[in-house]
Structure 1
């Protein structure tokens, strides 16, 4: 049988890692400069693949804009392969939408260079792969995947080629790289040596290959193209004989040849996380946890608030959709998503730069959100309201109706009696009870595009109230009027309400002296706080009681950013025997809250050899605020930990009173069921979750909801869940036993200083659906938001129109461009989905036309169907792929568009807003 050796020249480009981005970029400039010279002078050098990342071209051209045409020439002729990704992102630590936009931006960018970018699901070095990736790839017309980790041929048919399917049945031809993406890293020029090396590589590859086509990857991390490859190949060919054919080719050609012959004996469905800990590197799930938390919050802000708000404004014709700004933000977010970036396994300087990117991105997102909010609230129908009244616009983006406690800052002009109280009315005119959290005087900064900035004196009332029955993806407007006294309409609470003077506060955070027992309860839950700070939680619906919740444990970690590893025979320390200080923060009203302070001491570090933890201890106090809001089924925690010790792992326990053989973990457009058995040898049996992980028994269950805490363990004796809060380690990696390489020792991996963690316990019946758990987690991470605006804002624009004060009276005015457009009712929904188990993943405008794009998915094991309703008759509807290309029309009825989803399927729907 004739062997076919397919040699792929490439580089694997980690944009930032053991060097910073700018340091690596200088090497990238050298690489591309030399590559262009090689392509120009050597016509026998047929192809080079730029790692499937479009960002490589961006980064290069910022330094070498003069080289654009040279790049374009070689891309057009197919000698320089680009696409389909924007960056090589980690998929477990980023949202499904981030992976979808990664491919969307990458393919669209690549098509600016060539009509035929490389449509290869190239995944060379990600640390495992999410379950829905085949369905995502198929959504872009990609029918293959080439991957380096997560799959072990020995566990299947022993073949590197297999069929990989998502839970909905979408599948791709998957090709594993058993000998890595550098198995032909660089070939010698001596023909005899090259022949022997190629024979050795071929024999290793044939152990797993199911066809005569073998993949030889000529390159590796940051290496430049082999400049003498053409000579080496031409001279070795005569020595190989007729039974071996060399092809210097591209991945698309190789995949096509394999597809013609591969029997695909093995079929794997779902996520790929096979292999030991040094293969899978699951320690990255909790390395530098602050990066994961920042990323989760930024992605939620972008996906769950800013994009839907911008789409609603475009739908109503109030604001143009900010395509360019959102594209800029998405790219900035994705700059932080490469696997060595978001995984937290790089230099300190790299991760400092990442946090700067997150801050910049959040600044833009918050400004865009404020513009969108103000545009909508200005359009509300204020008929019958007083000129001095104000509006509170409370809104959310969940696909189901929501009720929750909302906080809002209401500023009252001093001239309107700022020290007085306020009254709050709902859309039906009913008085709404609220409580005042704080009240203070301040100068409110007023900005205008046509008048000079100014400051006006106000009293800011921070209030809390229950916003009830907000419709799906909708809002409710509350009217505020200045009351006759500061006690009107206040909900009685056991806390002194005092008007603030400058610099003083009557804050809800001050401790209340009370004889109350440390108990939090509402109609759903009763939580008792034990002397050691642990929680006894009763589900008042099922009657099930969970004891010993929220005990902290700490053990050693002498691993590194990639792998968590304990000291042998280490003692796990817990807070079980710690006496907590328990203080009541809020006992009545709309939320009950306690502060639990745990004075704890931990070993300062481990010894240099990693044989034992220190016998010297240092105080490490843990402070948790536990809160139960009215009508909530979630007991919420905000925990702070000032990390002053090293070489350790901090976790929190949630035992359950039943046996559960499997757990359900939130995934990317999926809810993943994982068995309890450990299939691969690992020091730590931890796994990823996105938003939540839960256990269920016959009579009930709990889910641990979280923001950016992706690392959990399903534990036993007792059975329960343990959530990792942080890992504190001493290096990026340890490649030499007992030694650390010069780039590895980075103090930032010890994550010293204060950290805050947000998580919650959600209780449910034993038959809770996947959708119920996912929605609970989404809503926990994305609360109802509010924005306040005066009914008439003329007096709020006081100030000076000119610096020189020429005597011009009043302020300059700009006509309201939306004054003649229809007004919004006081309660409304922008999008309704009739089937509560049909979840909405994205609401945005199409990339290149005036259409609304809605992505819907089914988390269940059964098919579902429902009506998607925009509250207005759609002029048309189309099923589109993930590139937003139309596939087929959908029937439109007066009540909306009917969508049918198979189990675990997601679909993208386009609703044109004009003809």
Structure 2
């Protein structure tokens, strides 16, 4: 629609962009937040002309305030209900690329739930300072009935200290645009073209106001496509402007042709929507500032303090891929109620680490120390829930009268909470004998008695009598305890063994039960002639699919036997200096990268069994100890990182890198673990994977999509580095073969063009010493000194990455197995079922193997995302997303009884019925199913 009026309307939206923690620790910011909120409530009480305040799009601000001022809850909540304080839609303002797909949705879902009691929520897709924006945001927002996105970065250069930069490479001529997801979903995008502080500190004095508004009106009109001009009255941690109504009266008198209003996003967006022209630019997919000089994208926060990213990956995976699915399984089985309150608490604790200045690792050291504690708390909650729910299921498995198992067999269940059937090595400690403290004169006597027991020879056998090659290790006697629900704790001493074997074809979203069975010499069926599925010869390992040779420099040559493609020089390490900061990597001018390519490694075979082999490489390397004295001066004087001249010193420190390569039977990947003790400062360590493949594009796992990105940046890009974000993996392919590198919490990569081929470079460590941005803040702990360990996997494939199963392997790779020993010594178990979703109780028996959700995955471009229970309906929620532009068939069979199946959305609402278990999923679509239980 075209603008038909000449009158301008200046919408002033009062806000404060509230980073919970950043250049000060959380509690320092917390004190200021309490002061701000006190003043806000007093102003709203006193001045009816102070109409609105935008609470920065995050509901956690209310929680933080009420921690200290619970006495103010009634006042605060009244203004939220009245709409004078705009609340939501997120729980926190997250970094979109460093938090998982499901974490982004939990953030939106919990924000909506926090706001529900007030009967009002801001439907503003608010991304004020995200360091780039995910390509599927429009689809996610549209599913949540949010038709707009307000953002500050991604399509226009933003300079040092968030300075607004004029450039021709602005991807839209207006601050308004259409933003489209890969699936075709569209929202109205509004860019803070003059940042989110262009209406701060409005003068009351007419003379100062004239100067202020002459400049600011002109700058807003420069980008606006309508007569409605946006002015953000606030900035980072900005105290509220209590005299804003008076300042607006001054402005109205000075500029009678302009209507000045104290506005809110709902009114502003509604007004803009009525006037936007038909020729708005359409921006496709990710907003990553690729048409800029490349210095202000802040992508290198993906490698700042890698340990935080690793802890986050562990926490997210444990919650969304283990705790929630297991709790859902226990719920539908009728053995344990779904713990909504505890899971929400664990998610909130985790998401308190997800704001951009937190998870990005670009805050002062005190902030990140507290984050480690939060990660631990969330993980402890998740671990306890995993233990309780898996045990509740296991105790109801019917193991009576199984011919393959002797009466004294020790039984255990292996849960696969991934969305795909999988095989893998299981390590489980099992109790083979135990005595409670009341059984003996003292714990010492019990321990001695248990130590004297001669353990039989054991085998691992499943219910069908299949024998698994296993390693059984005697762990001796250990203390333990039980916490019964009806009496005091019960301590004991126990004799333990560790069982190591390869489980095969454990059903997706299900379990398989095994027995540790004592056998006599005549009955023992694990003969010396066991077939080895992983063969070794010198420095080579080989299974059905792959041949891996560890070279003298510690790198590997990898043959994909399926396609005949051989990759050389994989996992060479590269080291460079870094004279940037937590936000930005900057290599010293003229420096040549160091490499392990010419080093000689110490090689040895660490383990070999029929089901796996492990080889080790040890590299002894000397690298520069840090940057020179000039670097300290440049930091102290705030010399911009692009102008720094510092170099690394000549003195070196040792860097011993120990790498283990693991190849499992039947596996399509080489697992890599790299350990080192970092004693150097101001540097970056990467692993390089030359593919030899000639291609202009590569693919990176992102939020509900595998994003296609160009290998060479736009012509405007001048930053020598083109590092980018990833979630689970990155790969290159020429259409017939491909090379993928999956990871656990390594979120930064770069595609290098070397020897006419594409090389994947994955950052393992980046050591820096200052926060950067607008001031001088030392961060010595960002140097990440001390022991480090990182894990990743190399996955070659042929054909399409999704259809070949490579993507499924990469998604499954970081998900841990869950194993539970059945009962005290695992005999028979008959538990009374809980009255869950209509069950009346009684003796519940579960089968030895079960799958709760079976979906067609063969030759599919679909990826599984979540299995959980909806809080409001109590229904089962399952979600998938299509990795391809082509439609994909989805056929689902449930392993539980349900009344109906319906289409849901990211807010877990009932949207429309699904008549059968088959549907076609459109290209790049995120689909959520709801299953109403009996």
TM surpasses 0.5 = yes
Higher mean C-alpha deviation, range 636-645 or range 857-866? 857-866
Distance, in Å, in 2 between the alignment partners of 1:197 and 1:408 is 69
Which digits, 9 at most, give the CA deviation of each residue in 1:438-487, with x for residues without a partner? 64343343443344444444432222222122223222111222233699
Q: How does 1:793-832 map to 2 (within 5 A)?
A: 820-832=842-854
Contact residue 283 and residue 563 of structure 1 kept, 8 A: yes
Distance, in Å, in 2 between the alignment partners of 1:276 and 1:322 is 48
TM-score for the superposition, normalised by structure 1: 0.91
State the Cα distance separating 1:820 from its structure 2 match: 3.3
State the Cα distance separating 1:417 from its structure 2 match: 4.8
Contact residue 666 and residue 691 of structure 1 kept, 8 A: yes
State the Cα distance separating 1:184 from its structure 2 match: 1.4
SS of residue in 1 equivalent to 2:899? coil
* Residue of 149, 152, 172 corresponding to 1:148: 152
Q: How does 1:284-683 map to 2 (within 5 A)?
A: 284-385=301-402, 386-413=406-433, 417=453, 419-436=455-472, 439-484=475-520, 488-490=524-526, 517-610=538-631, 611-679=646-714, 680-683=717-720
Higher mean C-alpha deviation, range 520-529 or range 391-400? 391-400
Distance, in Å, in 2 between the alignment partners of 1:579 and 1:724 is 22
Which position in structure 2 is the counterpart of 1:888? 912
SS of residue in 2 equivalent to 1:71? helix
Contact residue 665 and residue 673 of structure 1 kept, 8 A: yes
Distance, in Å, in 2 between the alignment partners of 1:446 and 1:81 is 48
State the Cα distance separating 1:12 from its structure 2 match: 0.3
Which digits, 9 at most, give the CA deviation of each residue in 1:342-367, with x for residues without a partner? 00001111111111011111111111
Distance, in Å, in 2 between the alignment partners of 1:293 and 1:259 is 42
Closer, same or farther: CA 319–815 of 1 in aligned 2, 3 Å: closer
State the Cα distance separating 1:849 from its structure 2 match: 2.2
Which digits, 9 at most, give the CA deviation of each residue in 1:704-723, with x for residues without a partner? 00011010011111321000
Distance, in Å, in 2 between the alignment partners of 1:814 and 1:380 is 9
Distance, in Å, in 1 between the alignment partners of 2:382 and 2:67 is 25
Which digits, 9 at most, give the CA deviation of each residue in 1:234-259, with x for residues without a partner? 12211112x21111100111111111
SS of residue in 1 equivalent to 2:629? coil
Which digits, 9 at most, give the CA deviation of each residue in 1:613-652, with x for residues without a partner? 0100010111111110111111001111211010000000
State the Cα distance separating 1:595 from its structure 2 match: 1.6
Which position in structure 2 is the counterpart of 1:5? 10
Distance, in Å, in 2 between the alignment partners of 1:788 and 1:227 is 63
1:775 corresponds to 2:812? no
State the Cα distance separating 1:864 from its structure 2 match: 1.2
Distance, in Å, in 2 between the alignment partners of 1:585 and 1:487 is 31
1:79 corresponds to 2:84? yes
Closer, same or farther: CA 486–175 of 1 in aligned 2, 3 Å: farther
Which position in structure 1 is the counterpart of 2:173? 158
4+ residue segments displaced more than 6 Å: 813-816
State the Cα distance separating 1:151 from its structure 2 match: 1.1
Distance, in Å, in 2 between the alignment partners of 1:816 and 1:173 is 50
Distance, in Å, in 1 between the alignment partners of 2:826 and 2:417 is 27
* Residue of 877, 884, 896 corresponding to 1:860: 884
Distance, in Å, in 1 between the alignment partners of 2:116 and 2:834 is 37
Distance, in Å, in 2 between the alignment partners of 1:663 and 1:190 is 56
Higher mean C-alpha deviation, range 396-405 or range 130-139? 396-405
SS of residue in 2 equivalent to 1:554? strand
SS of residue in 1 equivalent to 2:283? strand
Which digits, 9 at most, give the CA deviation of each residue in 1:837-876, with x for residues without a partner? 3322111111112211111211112001222111345311
State the Cα distance separating 1:900 from its structure 2 match: 2.2
Contact residue 326 and residue 386 of structure 2 kept, 8 A: yes
SS of residue in 1 equivalent to 2:663? strand
TM-score for the superposition, normalised by structure 2: 0.90
Higher mean C-alpha deviation, range 576-585 or range 553-562? 576-585
Contact residue 797 and residue 804 of structure 2 kept, 8 A: no
* Residue of 30, 33, 36 corresponding to 1:31: 36
SS of residue in 1 equivalent to 2:650? coil
Contact residue 412 and residue 826 of structure 2 kept, 8 A: no
Closer, same or farther: CA 488–360 of 1 in aligned 2, 3 Å: farther
SS of residue in 1 equivalent to 2:754? coil
Q: How does 1:33-112 map to 2 (within 5 A)?
A: 33-112=38-117
State the Cα distance separating 1:277 from its structure 2 match: 3.8
Contact residue 835 and residue 865 of structure 1 kept, 8 A: no
Distance, in Å, in 2 between the alignment partners of 1:770 and 1:2 is 56
State the Cα distance separating 1:734 from its structure 2 match: 5.3
Closer, same or farther: CA 515–656 of 1 in aligned 2, 3 Å: closer
State the Cα distance separating 1:2 from its structure 2 match: 1.4
Distance, in Å, in 1 between the alignment partners of 2:659 and 2:72 is 56
SS of residue in 2 equivalent to 1:885? coil
Distance, in Å, in 1 between the alignment partners of 2:196 and 2:807 is 36
Alignment size in residue pairs: 867
Which digits, 9 at most, give the CA deviation of each residue in 1:365-401, with x for residues without a partner? 1111011111111111112144422222112123332
Which digits, 9 at most, give the CA deviation of each residue in 1:745-785, with x for residues without a partner? 01111111111101010011033336833311111111443
SS of residue in 2 equivalent to 1:787? strand
Structure 1, unpaired ranges of 5+: 495-513, 797-812
SS of residue in 2 equivalent to 1:175? strand
Distance, in Å, in 2 between the alignment partners of 1:191 and 1:491 is 95
SS of residue in 2 equivalent to 1:886? coil
Closer, same or farther: CA 489–574 of 1 in aligned 2, 3 Å: farther
* Residue of 108, 118, 121 corresponding to 1:117: 121
Contact residue 192 and residue 236 of structure 1 kept, 8 A: no
* Residue of 716, 734, 737 corresponding to 2:753: 716
SS of residue in 2 equivalent to 1:319? coil
Which position in structure 2 is the counterpart of 1:913? 933
Which position in structure 1 is the counterpart of 2:275? 261
State the Cα distance separating 1:608 from its structure 2 match: 3.1
Q: How does 1:234-245 map to 2 (within 5 A)?
A: 234-241=249-256, 243-245=257-259
* Residue of 857, 864, 874 corresponding to 1:850: 874
Structure 2, unpaired ranges of 5+: 1-5, 157-167, 435-449, 632-645, 836-840
